[in-house]
Amino acid sequence: MGDPSMLGNGAQHPPEWTSTVVGHHRLRHDLAVIRLIGEFVPFAAGQSVEVGMPQHPHVRRRLSPALPPSLDGKLEFHVRAIPGGWCSGTMVADTRPGDEWRIGTPRGGFHVDPDGEEVVMVAGGTGLAPMRAQILELARTPTPPQTYLFVGGRSPRDLYAADMLHLLSGELPWLTVIPVVEDLTDPNRVDEWYERSRVDIGFSADDLLHGTLAEVVGSHGAFTKHQVLVCGSPAMVASTLDELIETGTPAERIQFEGL
Ligand SMILES: Cc1cc2nc3c(=O)[nH]c(=O)nc-3n(C[C@H](O)[C@H](O)[C@H](O)COP(=O)(O)OP(=O)(O)OC[C@H]3O[C@@H](n4cnc5c(N)ncnc54)[C@H](O)[C@@H]3O)c2cc1C
């Protein structure tokens, strides 16, 4: 268990918990969904945690669980490999079932008031993970607020969780998912991992809105009476915030995090 241990100078290590990889699903050449089970980690849905893996035992990277906390110790992470990145490439390509990960320092993140106003979530790439955790947390409450999830990628195949989101929005009447792509067609380059994991469930071409997340979200007008959450790459977060503020969404209504 992750009890704090004393350092020589009287300071304390932050607690860490151990969790074992039980599933590694490589969905794209640069993206994997990783499932673990282990000690209960006391985070809140929408927070991120620090992760250490056996391939880089002295390094920690911050990831956002895609599930709310569960007493049986289930964790799920969505990881995108950053070109030239030290750890993300290893997580995507070299993680194996049985690997023991260290999990610690839950921090920051998003909060949704389940009794509050309508919710607008804007997720670019793996920015979907903390939103997904929040949606599943809201699903446990008696009357979740109407929630609009804008989820974006460069092209349709970047929407790596299209099947899960399609099923989720079918199950949850208070959830509307709006898929957004910058290009309506996929690049010619074959992604063998995409070809292997293709399923028939997902968004149809008619469901897709064309543009950047910033443009599409901005075109929906000011969100003056909403809880607004934005998560994705620092560039996507910056452009979406600019657009939201410019189109009249009050800054104090917006929570955001760059990955
Ligand atoms: C609160 C928080 C939550 C996060 N949650 C997730 C998550 O759920 N899933 C996930 O995949 N990642 C997440 N990240 C990002 C993650 O922590 C790492 O920063 C990322 O995986 C890169 O690590 P690395 O070791 O591969 O790259 P590093 O070796 O640390 O960096 C290599 C190079 O890549 C650049 N770089 C680092 N990050 C990015 C980026 N996002 N875009 C472009 N260039 C970059 C660096 O500047 C550096 O030049 C989160 C980050 C934060 C702060």
Q: How far is the CA of 191 from the centre of ligand 1 (A)?
A: 22
**Residues contacting residue 96 through CB under 8 Å, at least 6 positions apart:** 21, 24
pLDDT at position 123, please? 98
Residue 131 has pLDDT above 90, yes or no: yes
Residue 9: what pLDDT? 55
Give residue 233 CA to ligand 1 midpoint distance, Å: 9
Please provide the DSSP assignment of the chain as one string: -----B-TTS-BPPPEEEEEEEEEEEEETTEEEEEEEES-----TT-EEEEEETTEEEEEEEE--SS---TT-EEEEEEEPPTT-SSHHHHHHH--TT-EEEEEEEE------TTSS-EEEEEEGGGHHHHHHHHHHHTTSSSPPPEEEEEEESSGGG-TTHHHHHHHHHH-TTEEEEEEESSSS--SS--HHHHHH--S-S--GGGPEES-HHHHHHHT---TTSEEEEEE-HHHHHHHHHHHHHTT--GGGEEEEE-
Q: 250: closest CA among 234, 227, 231?
A: 227
Residue with CA at minimum distance from ligand 1 atom 46? 85
User: Does 84 contact ligand 1 (Cβ within 6 A)?
Assistant: yes
Atom of ligand 1 nearest to the CA of 87: 25
**65/31 Cα distance (integer angstroms):** 15
45's tokens: 């849905």
Pairwise CA distance, residues 174 & 189, whole Å: 37
Mean pLDDT of 199-207: 89
56-63/175-181 β-pairing = unpaired
**Is pLDDT above 90 for 18?**
yes
Q: Please provide the average confidence, as pLDDT, over all residues in the chain.
A: 94
What Å distances lie between residue 198 and 165, 194, 210, 224, CA to CA?
A: 15, 6, 22, 39
Q: Measured in angstroms, how far is the CA atom of residue 59 from the centroid of ligand 1?
A: 13
Measured from the Cα of 61, ligand 1's closest atom is 17
Residue with token string 């899960």? 164
Whether the pLDDT of residue 7 is over 50: the answer is: no
pLDDT of residue 12: 67
Confidence bin at 3 (pLDDT 50/70/90): very low
Is ligand 1 within 6 A of the CB of residue 66? no
Q: What is the mean pLDDT of residues 219-245?
A: 96
Residues 217, 220, 222, 223: what is their CA dihedral angle, to the nearest 10 degrees? -70
Q: Do the Cβ atoms of 21 and 95 come closer than 8 Å?
A: yes
Query: Given the structure tokens 């209960």, which residue do they identify?
Result: 40
pLDDT tens figures, 76-105: 999 999 999 999 999 999 999 999 999 999
Residue in 59, 67, 76, 88 to alter for ligand 1 test, most ligand atoms within 8 A of Cβ: 88
- The predicted pLDDT at position 10 comes to 55
